[in-house]
Structure 1
Amino acid sequence: MKRFIVMTVGWLMAVNSMGQQALWSADGIISPVINENRTVTFRIYAPAAEKMEVEGDFLSPTMVSTPVGETESAGKAVMTKNSNGVWEYTTPPLVSELYSYTFLNDGLRITDPNNVYQVRDVASVSNIFLMSGQPGDLYSVQEVPHGNVAKVWYPSLTMNMDRRMTVYTPAGYEDSERSYPVLYLLHGAGGDENAWSELGRAAQILDNLIAQGKAEPMIVVMTNGNASQQAAPGEAPNSMKKPALFVPGMMDGRFEQAFTDVVSYVESHYRTQADKAHRAIAGLSMGGFHAMHISALYPDTFDYVGLFSAAIHTDNDSPVYTKFYENLNRQFSTPPQLYWIGIGRTDFLYKDNAAFRSKLDSLNYHYEYTESDGGHIWRNWRIYLTTFVQRLFK
């Protein structure tokens, strides 16, 4: 027994020594490290690399040309290598937010091997971290009652296929007989039914705002707005393909025409308050475009409409779009309780949104409007969702 104890102590001492040595090896690195002064330190072990950079939305952005126009790209910072082959970079103090980043290893983009917290945006995978305070705490899991998030398949008779959506039910839904209002929340181009729950932190935002009494308990339905898809890439039959920004059926009118399938399924399978006063619809970018047209196509369905950095124009000649202003006139003959528009000052869709607001002004249609810093980015869309849901169903 004595020999066993001695051997055990010796083994533990060896492991502890190895752990200290591992601080400067690939296994012992912690990255990122959030320091007490609100700076953040990134580390990666790459002794053979000649240059290492960190690219993240906490750095000054650059403007780049994309297929949809000039938009912001995350900034870059050069990292420094020590004698042990560990590259390091420490940020200036950061304000509270959810941040994303990747590394560039001699120009090759890679994720941080020491950070398991990742998200996918279209075909790009990046790491994330949260800075405490506001709004970061709102995007974090807190000690509050939690709602549930389910991946739900429903039959779309209009599209002649089964499709999937993500449904958030608020804390207490399963244990009550109460009926709830519903927010239909739509993603942008390249997204799917996972986007708002993963990139948008919708469940955390709703949990925390409801717990604080700032938002009404509500069901949130996050659909897949790509009419050619049953579900997110890799999560439907024969769909394990590289995700793309542009896919068939994005903005051809089919999704809007089939949206009654979604509403019918939700109201027949969940306890909802099934009237205009208790339905809201909102979306970002392409999803804002969809929300704009769905709410006009079905003018008696939604009393709250949110357009987050919304796309405004399309070349498609679907009657859903060619008759938009005719539909809008019907919608505003009995105006929605809230028609809310938000966009960043450097968003490539800013001018289109300004022109649309001018059109609404010329028609004397009331809406509420907010501008924020930055461009076509998730940071803005999380803020817009936070602001919008606090205005619903009051």
Structure 2
Amino acid sequence: MSSGTPSRPRLRRWLPTMVAAAALVGGSALVPATPAAADDAAPLGPTVSKTGLPPTGYEVTIRYKNDGASRVQIAPEMTFSDPALITSGTAAETKPGSQWEPGDVPGIKLSGEGAGWTVYEMTKDADGIWTYRSPLPSGTFNYAFVVNCASDAGTGCPRIPDPANPVWNPDDVGGPNRQVYVPSDRSYGTLDKYVEAPVSDAADRGTFQHYSYPSTSTAGTQGLSVYTPPGYNKNRSTPYPTIYLSHGAGGDEYDWSNSGVAGNILDNAIAEGRMQPSVVVMTNFNGIPGGTAGYATEITTKVIPYVQKNLNVSKRASDRAFAGLSAGGGRANYLLFNTTDQFAYYGLWSAAAGTYVAPTEAQLAAMKKVEVVHIGTGLQDWLANINLSSLQREAGLKAAGVNVVAFNQPGIHSWDIWRMELNDFLRRVAFKATTTNLTVAQKNNGKVKITAKVAADAKTSTVSPTGRVEFLVDGRVVGAPQELTGKSVSITVTAQPGQQVTVRYSGNALFNGSSRTVTVD
């Protein structure tokens, strides 16, 4: 197995690394950052402080040491807007964190000079450290630095990663963005996004590792970032389910683990008992010939076989899921329509899949066998009318009889949306399907014995469904609900031939409910 360096604990604080040697790119002189001195009064990188003050109750301070810089700007995803003021083709309201109000969403300037996330000036403190401070609501925020750029908007100048806040992957590849997480002070109306925070117990953290597999890409090999859950056992007799995640345009296999903080979201869901421990494979579609169709072939003929050979995962399609954001959501849509039998769960998030086209009769028949199609978008997503096409896709597939679960949120085309799409997918959808079967045994005097058996559809769980089972005759509840502590429960009731007997399983944190109805002979 060809692999990169195993991941290091996500909360470990490493010594700062040097930014690349000085160069002139886009009119910006890149000056090497100076490593932190051991006696610096305050740490470099991001620090989060609880202030208890408006507007959010928390403040972020980001400190950066660069003795050769005459100007440093920060390019953070830290501007906000009232969603009602975000419309296609119109510059949204963009406010700094100090002006945040409840209900605001991350927002960018949509057009004109400096379109995109607002760039802010950093100030040089008396100790020579460049500093930016801002109140922020709960959530994860990406940021990077711009050094010695002539443009007030940072236009045409490269983004530089924070050397004091490295990411898990070797050599810090995968883009310049670094992340800072902010808790919630609910007294100020911030939505609590604790699911994006690192878990406190190291034993509850999964592991990231980078792999290279033989690919059809122009390089001949392609990278995968792979998350294995806490306590992953390569020899476990029950194989693990697998989730395949795709990045969007301009991204790579590191996006979900870095900007998307997928590891934290997964760790929290597993630690809370809200999802099955799963192997998560983050792919890279760059350089693969054939566009979306070529990527679909790559997934089915290269990636899945490689993962199944080298990791302890199930080989059943019912134990696999695929999801993607933006251009990756478009690829998820293509897989749903054209290789439907390869995955049991699909996630189409802000999918750049064009105008909704109804499936053919054959495609629809295959889609109805899929466990769940999870569709979500930012309701103010302006890019190529993604919000409109996503809502149309949701409505069209639902009307056609496909099992669609929707999760739409106020917001734009940004990681703020996609992190929470992933969280909802894990906690509500992935590998939670159950099947309830029942048998009816005739007894004397019109009595029948109804036996209900509940089983997980995925064969990768080490636990069985628990919860309550209700029995109904012609739609009326009979008897007391039964607690499902084993694989089946039974009840004896009065039922005549021709009457309908129904069993309903309630579900629990790990399994969704299901039901079955039969007619008494």
TM category (shorter chain) comes to 0.7 to 0.9
* Structure 1 residues 236-247: aligned runs within 5 Å: none
2:44 counterpart (25, 30, 50): 30
2:209 counterpart (147, 150, 175): 150
Match of 1:165 in 2: 224
User: Contact conserved, 1:57 with 1:101, CA < 8 A, in 2?
Assistant: yes
1:223-259 per-position Cα deviation (integer Å, ceiling 9, x unaligned): 2223x25xxxxxxxxxxxxxxxxxx6543x1111232
Q: SS where residue 391 of structure 2 aligns?
A: helix
Match of 1:339 in 2: 373
Bigger Rg, structure 1 or 2: 2
Match of 1:75 in 2: 118
1:129 aligns with 2:180: yes
Question: Structure 1 residues 276 and 292, CA, compared in 2 at 3 Å: closer, same or farther?
Answer: same
Say which is worse superposed, 99-108 or 367-376, in terms of deviation: 99-108
Match of 1:57 in 2: 77
* Structure 1 residues 195-234: aligned runs within 5 Å: 195-226=255-286, 228-229=287-288
User: Contact conserved, 1:185 with 1:282, CA < 8 A, in 2?
Assistant: yes
Question: Structure 1 residues 122 and 19, CA, compared in 2 at 3 Å: closer, same or farther?
Answer: closer
User: Contact conserved, 2:46 with 2:63, CA < 8 A, in 1?
Assistant: yes
User: Contact conserved, 1:119 with 1:126, CA < 8 A, in 2?
Assistant: no
Match of 1:140 in 2: 198
* Structure 1 residues 242-253: aligned runs within 5 Å: 249-251=290-292, 253=293
Question: What displacement does 1:290 show?
Answer: 1.0
Question: Structure 1 residues 191 and 157, CA, compared in 2 at 3 Å: closer, same or farther?
Answer: closer
Letter in 1 for 2:50: E
Q: SS where residue 130 of structure 1 aligns?
A: strand
Question: Structure 1 residues 362 and 290, CA, compared in 2 at 3 Å: closer, same or farther?
Answer: same
| CA distance in 1 between partners of 2:123 and 2:300 (Å) | 56
User: Contact conserved, 1:72 with 1:376, CA < 8 A, in 2?
Assistant: no
| CA distance in 2 between partners of 1:157 and 1:73 (Å) | 34
| CA distance in 2 between partners of 1:113 and 1:297 (Å) | 42
| CA distance in 2 between partners of 1:265 and 1:48 (Å) | 47
Q: SS where residue 110 of structure 2 aligns?
A: strand
2:252 counterpart (175, 192, 210): 192
1:311 aligns with 2:352: yes
Question: Structure 1 residues 119 and 343, CA, compared in 2 at 3 Å: closer, same or farther?
Answer: farther
1:122-178 per-position Cα deviation (integer Å, ceiling 9, x unaligned): 985133222235435634253133333232233347999443322222223235332
Question: What displacement does 1:47 show?
Answer: 9.0
* Structure 1 residues 288-299: aligned runs within 5 Å: 288-299=329-340
Say which is worse superposed, 263-272 or 341-350, in terms of deviation: 263-272
Question: Structure 1 residues 271 and 123, CA, compared in 2 at 3 Å: closer, same or farther?
Answer: closer
Letter in 1 for 2:165: V
Question: Structure 1 residues 190 and 54, CA, compared in 2 at 3 Å: closer, same or farther?
Answer: closer
**In proportion to residue count, which structure has more helix?**
1
Question: Structure 1 residues 197 and 249, CA, compared in 2 at 3 Å: closer, same or farther?
Answer: farther
TM-score by length of 2: 0.56
| CA distance in 1 between partners of 2:358 and 2:218 (Å) | 21
| CA distance in 2 between partners of 1:148 and 1:19 (Å) | 29
Q: SS where residue 347 of structure 2 aligns?
A: strand
| CA distance in 1 between partners of 2:204 and 2:43 (Å) | 34
Letter in 2 for 1:289: G
User: Contact conserved, 2:325 with 2:350, CA < 8 A, in 1?
Assistant: yes
Letter in 2 for 1:329: L
Letter in 2 for 1:186: S
Unpaired runs of 5+ residues, structure 2, are 1-36, 52-57, 81-106, 185-191, 433-521
Match of 2:408 in 1: 371
| CA distance in 1 between partners of 2:127 and 2:412 (Å) | 39
User: Contact conserved, 2:178 with 2:258, CA < 8 A, in 1?
Assistant: no
User: Contact conserved, 1:59 with 1:76, CA < 8 A, in 2?
Assistant: no
Letter in 1 for 2:371: Q
Question: What displacement does 1:54 show?
Answer: 3.5
Letter in 2 for 1:213: G
Q: SS where residue 352 of structure 1 aligns?
A: helix
User: Contact conserved, 1:289 with 1:307, CA < 8 A, in 2?
Assistant: yes
User: Contact conserved, 2:345 with 2:430, CA < 8 A, in 1?
Assistant: yes
1:392 aligns with 2:452: no
Question: Structure 1 residues 377 and 211, CA, compared in 2 at 3 Å: closer, same or farther?
Answer: same
| CA distance in 2 between partners of 1:267 and 1:124 (Å) | 29
1:259-278 per-position Cα deviation (integer Å, ceiling 9, x unaligned): 22222232333333322321
Q: SS where residue 392 of structure 2 aligns?
A: helix
Question: Structure 1 residues 91 and 331, CA, compared in 2 at 3 Å: closer, same or farther?
Answer: same
Question: What displacement does 1:387 show?
Answer: 1.0
Identity of aligned residues (%): 29
Question: Structure 1 residues 185 and 114, CA, compared in 2 at 3 Å: closer, same or farther?
Answer: closer
TM-score by length of 1: 0.73
| CA distance in 2 between partners of 1:115 and 1:204 (Å) | 20
1:381 aligns with 2:401: no
| CA distance in 2 between partners of 1:165 and 1:49 (Å) | 36
User: Contact conserved, 2:370 with 2:403, CA < 8 A, in 1?
Assistant: no
Letter in 2 for 1:365: V
Give the structure, 1 or 2, with the largest relative contact order (CA under 8 Å, sep 6 or more): 1
